[in-house]
Amino acid sequence: MDLDLFAGIPVTDYDRGVAWLERLLGHPAAFRAHETESVWELAEHRYVYVVLEPEHAGHALVTAFLGDLDGFLAGAAERGLEPDHRELYDNGVRKAIFRDPDGNEIGFGGAPTEDDQQE
The domains of the chain, with CATH numbers, are: 5-118 (3.10.180.10)
Residue 116 is predicted with a pLDDT of 55
The predicted model scores a pTM of: 0.90
Query: Using an 8 Å Cβ cutoff, are 62 and 102 in contact?
Result: no
Q: What is the pLDDT of residues 41-82, one digit of tens each?
A: 999 999 999 999 999 999 999 999 999 999 999 999 999 999
Distance of CA 65 to the CA centre of its chain: 10
Under the banding of pLDDT at 50, 70 and 90, the label for residue 25 is very high
pLDDT of residue 99: 98
C-alpha span between 83 and 98 (Å, rounded) = 5
CB-count burial class (<10 Å; 0-12, 13-18, 19+) for 91:
exposed
User: Residues 89, 92, 93, 96: what is their CA dihedral angle, to the nearest 10 degrees?
Assistant: 70
Question: What is the number of other CB atoms lying within 10 angstroms of the CB of residue 69?
Answer: 19
Digit-coded pLDDT (tens) for 8-18: 999 999 999 99
Stronger pLDDT, 81 or 119, i.e. the higher one:
81
115 pLDDT more than 80: no
pLDDT score, position 57: 98
Residue 114's pLDDT band, with cuts at 50, 70 and 90, is: confident
